[in-house]
């Protein structure tokens, strides 16, 4: 393999921790420590304001922990509101398998209408604003987005979203292939398959921005933690670590010195009205969690 020319910009590496919430924070801290044992990286923390409708709120210790991560250079991004698929019945066996089995009814935006998705994104953005935090990106739970959710993102001020295999810039929507390492640990056979799949040499050799998606329960599985450390170490040899917001700037051709959009002003807190349970909020034509045609062609090679 030819060495990379010294002036060539290295590919990006984005490490994200999903499902960040008070109830999962102890496991998230374990993941943070595991990554930092390899190297101190800027990470993206995907925050769920009311995880599984537990009503935990935002305890002071939790806010302090998130502020400390921001001070270290980490990004906070929105990861749904409740991380539960509450959109009612499934249409067909394939959709049932995807929404109820493969993603364990956690794909919150997998079958929402545009109206329901807009409301949930709106209260999520308000939650960030009330805490004085800038918000640049949204990642749907389980990476599942209905057509109505895509429509809402296209109309939102957010800069990016991601799916299982791609990084999307918004306004206009542009797809960039971005391989992602993730683990399923809900059963021994899922864990074994994940370890085998992520251990394939071809995965490390894939082109384009690389991502690692870590979930709280990964912290309970030593073999997964070992593989995470191995992959981080291997990818850092020829990838530059960065947050997803920084990657959005790079892919969009913006100056890397700072975000061009200023953070939202703190202002007076806005009273939040939590999204209600939305059973039946889908229609037969608005229940497919697949992206509609892209606004512009992909500008990177397939990974």
* Domain residue extents for the chain: 11-252
Q: How many CA atoms lie within 13 A of 83 on its CB side?
A: 24
How far apart, in whole angstroms, are the C-alpha atoms of residue 115 and residue 113? 5
| 61 to 45, 67, 126, 247: CA distances (angstroms) | 16, 10, 21, 30
Residues 6+ apart with CB under 8 A from 254: 260
Residue 164: CB partners within 8 Å, gap ≥ 6?
143, 180, 182
Q: Give me the sheet containing 160-162, strands edge to edge.
A: 160-162, 166-169, 174-177
Determine the pLDDT at residue 17.
99
| C-alpha closest to that of 122 among 77, 63, 81 | 81
Residues with Cβ < 8 Å from 134, sequence gap 6 or more? Answer: 128, 259, 261, 262, 263, 264
The CATH fold assigned to 11-252 is TIM Barrel (3.20.20)
pTM: predicted TM-score of the whole model, two decimal places: 0.81
What's the confidence (pLDDT) of residue 186?
85
Block means of pLDDT (10 residues each) for the chain, 303 residues, are 56 98 97 98 96 83 97 97 68 55 65 91 95 96 92 96 96 95 93 95 90 98 98 96 97 64 42 48 35 31 24
> Which tokens go with 59?
């305890």
Query: What distance in Å separates the CA atoms of residue 232 and residue 56, rounded to the nearest whole number?
Result: 32
């Amino acid at each position: 393999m030819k060495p990379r020319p010294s002036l060539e910009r290295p590919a990006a590496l984005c490490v994200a921790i999903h499902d960040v919430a008070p109830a999962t924070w102890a496991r998230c801290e374990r993941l943070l420590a595991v990554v930092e044992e390899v190297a101190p990286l800027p990470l993206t923390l995907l925050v769920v304001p009311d995880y599984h409708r537990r009503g935990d709120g935002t305890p002071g210790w939790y806010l302090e922990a998130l502020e400390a991560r921001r001070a270290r250079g980490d990004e906070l991004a929105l990861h749904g509101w409740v991380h539960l698929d509450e959109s009612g019945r499934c249409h067909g066996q394939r959709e049932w398998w995807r929404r109820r089995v493969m993603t364990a009814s956690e794909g919150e935006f997998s079958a929402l209408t545009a109206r329901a998705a807009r409301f949930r994104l709106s209260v999520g953005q308000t939650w960030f604003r009330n805490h004085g935090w800038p918000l640049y990106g949204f990642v749907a739970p389980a990476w599942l987005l209905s057509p109505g959710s895509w429509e809402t993102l296209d109309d939102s001020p957010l800069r990016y979203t991601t799916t299982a295999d791609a990084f999307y810039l918004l306004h206009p929507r542009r797809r960039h292939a971005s391989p992602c390492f993730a683990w399923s640990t809900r059963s021994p056979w899922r864990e074994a398959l994940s370890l085998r799949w992520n251990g394939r040499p071809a995965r490390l050799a894939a082109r384009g921005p690389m991502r690692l998606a870590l979930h709280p329960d990964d912290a309970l599985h030593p073999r997964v933690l070992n593989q995470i450390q191995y992959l981080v170490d291997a990818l850092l040899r020829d990838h530059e670590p960065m947050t997803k917001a920084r990657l959005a700037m790079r892919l969009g051709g913006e100056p890397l010195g700072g975000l061009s959009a200023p953070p939202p002003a703190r202002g007076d807190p806005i009273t939040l009205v939590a999204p209600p349970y939305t059973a039946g909020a889908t229609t037969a034509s608005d229940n497919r969690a697949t992206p509609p045609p892209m606004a512009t062609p992909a500008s990177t090679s397939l990974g």
